[in-house]
Structure 1
Amino acid sequence: MIDSLQSVVAQTGTQLKLRWLTPEPQPPRPLRGADPGQSLIGSLNLIHPNRLQVVGPPEQTYLAALGRTAHDETLDKLFADRPAAIILSDDIAPTSDLLERARATRTPLLGSTLGDQELINHLRYFLTQALAERKTIHGVFIEVLGMGVLLIGAPAVGKSELALDLITRGHRLIADDAPRFARIAPEVIEGSCPETLRDFLEVRGLGILNIRAMFGEGAVLRDKTLNLVVDLQPLAQPELECIDRLTGSLSAMNVLGVAIPKIIMPVAPGRNLAILVEAAVRHQILRIRGYDAGVDFIDRQARAIRLDRPDPPVARD
């Protein structure tokens, strides 16, 4: 789990050429501060300080140009904000003033040979993925026509059988039973599979199937953005009649604060659910592009009515 400075260094240190310039702190140093909205990583910022403050050549030039009093006040302010660590990029050697204050405040110093912007970009991406808000939803997550589709419904409703049918039609499995979703951007939910469940699909009567072994590498996918939720429900006739025949059952499902389009897919004997899911995905792709068949149908009927019953001529004086 990524929740401390030490865990970040352990996982990214080799790739990002990170090294300790002061002794590694004990116990583990938390990445998050008291302010949950505080930025985790960025260049030197004394107004909105980051938890990981990066000092590169521009900051080094700025500090060197300050007078002695302003220089000391700036360093005091930097350490008073209690950053999780200060990272010196571009193989910059720490000054004696910086080392002295780091030891006095027990603030870790790290160094890297990478450039400041490259370092910030890599760490920002890593931390966004590692610290994203997460949620596990019972269902089967599958890629259909390039869209991430979550199949949900009551136990034994046929989610896994439908997923297997879709896989045989060329679509790809991401996760069965417990797909894990993370909010990686304000409006983006990404789904993946726990390592212990990856490649496996449970089908009642057949047991556990290894989809990678049965269908090959192209039948599985590591992660995908969630685009559509399909809720499989066995509906009685009165419930079916309540579904709008023009717009269908389109609604939204809240996943980690993001509204994901959801449709209710009635389950009944004789219905080819795989074809229906493919059609639902194609329909959603058209919606994303700005086309809605229901609206088009209504407009076409309205035009036909107007042509059949034209407006009366306007009387002229």
Structure 2
Amino acid sequence: MSDPISSSNIFQTHQKELGLKWVAGEQNRGELTEVDARLSDSSLIGHLNLVRPNYIQVLADTELEYLNNLGKNSLQDTLQRLFDSKPLMVIIADSITPPESLLEFSRQTGTPLITSSESSHKIVDHLHYYLSNQLTEKTVFHGVFMEVFGIGVLLTGPSGVGKSELALELLSRGHRLVADDAPEFRRTAPDAITGNCPSVLTDFIEVRGLGVLNIRAMYGNNAILDHKRLRLIVRLDTEPDSMDEPIERLDHTGRSRRLLEVDIPEVRLPVAPGRDLAVIIEAAVRNHVLYLNGYNAAQDFIERQQDLINQARSS
């Protein structure tokens, strides 16, 4: 589960980029968690909405004009509804000076009231992307996450099977490392999983017999990638007979593993002396790219055989 997000850390993180100024309210008030975002009918951020209040309410000229045109009693009722919804913060765009009525409610309730030098649309777009990314469900999956031929590939398997050694071989062939040992994955779209490296592990890989290696220092900046969409899982196993299913000899394209409610294609490779796994991984990725583009080699082979059988029967 993601860590809670407070009004103060949003302010500190985006103060410079959005030109934020704290006007009123408590700086350590309120937290937003992944559970809040999933279970509530409210949206994360948007322009003033009193029917389904946003966690962050953004006001600009249009919203402030609407409030200014209300009668005294209607204005009080509207502001009461706004602050009773307990927003994480209220942001006023375009460096507009907040009206005294908003300031008073902010002081009374402790709700953060912040101004921004940017337009309301930029504020909404920017913070919505930030909040969605921070609050999305995530998990850590044991393995080595790499980019091979532009495809995000997770190498998995039991401890000691040779994942890190294989990663080094792939790095020497020009591919890139995202994370070793504990890559972190987030669901960034209904059908997309993106992986990145926890900050403490960035640039490092552990290889039995060599210890911890700094890949950036050894291979340069181009050998490291901050994040990548996961497209393929490759499972390595030294004992193929112990697998829960027999190894398919003809077509591997139908197998998948479910990760964060998304099915990710999976290839299982038995590890044995003399097998050049780096070459096989590259072949698996190239074959997967062909499959994504609509070509299935196994199906092509089956159809070719069937054509020959049909020709033999008709002759």
**Shared topology, TM-score over 0.5?**
yes
Task: Tell me the equivalent position of 1:31.
Answer: 32
Mapping 1:27-176, distance limit 5 Å:
28-32=29-33, 33=36, 36-37=39-40, 38-176=42-180
SS in 2 for 1:246: coil
Q: Tell me how far apart the structure 2 counterparts of residues 242 and 249 of structure 1 sit (CA, whole Å).
A: 15
SS at match of 1:118: helix
Identical residues among aligned pairs (%): 45
Q: Secondary structure at the match of 1:58?
A: helix
CA distance in 2, matches of 1:113, 1:261: 46
The TM-score, its normalising length taken from structure 2, stands at: 0.90
Give the greater-gyration-radius structure (CA): 1
Counterpart-to-counterpart distance in 1, 2:38 and 2:232: 34
Taking a change above 3 Å as real, the CA distance of residues 291 and 107 of structure 1, as seen in their structure-2 partners, is same
In structure 1, the partner of 2:24 is 22
SS at match of 2:174: coil
Higher mean C-alpha deviation, range 237-246 or range 217-226: 237-246
Alignment of 1:252-267 (within 5 A): 252-267=256-271
Q: Distance in 2 between matches of 1:241 and 1:19?
A: 59
Say if 1:5 and 1:303 are closer, same or farther in 2 by CA, change over 3 A.
same
* CA spacing shift, 1:117–1:285, aligned 2, 3 Å: same
State TM-score, norm by structure 1: 0.90
Report the counterpart of residue 15 of structure 2 in structure 1: 13
* Equivalent residue, structure 2, for 1:315: none
- The runs of 5 or more residues in structure 2 that have no matched partner are none
User: More deviation in 134-143 or 288-297?
Assistant: 288-297
Which letter does structure 2 place at the counterpart of 1:222? D
- Please list the CA deviations of residues 243-274 of structure 1 after superposition, one character each: whole Å capped at 9, or x if unmatched: 22221375222222222111111111111101
Give yes or no for the alignment of 1:279 onto 2:295: no
Range with bigger deviation, 64-73 or 161-170:
64-73
Q: CA deviation at 1:130?
A: 2.0
Let me know the Cα RMSD of the aligned residues.
2.3
Alignment: residue pair count: 310
Residue number among 211, 217, 238 corresponding to 1:234 in the alignment: 238
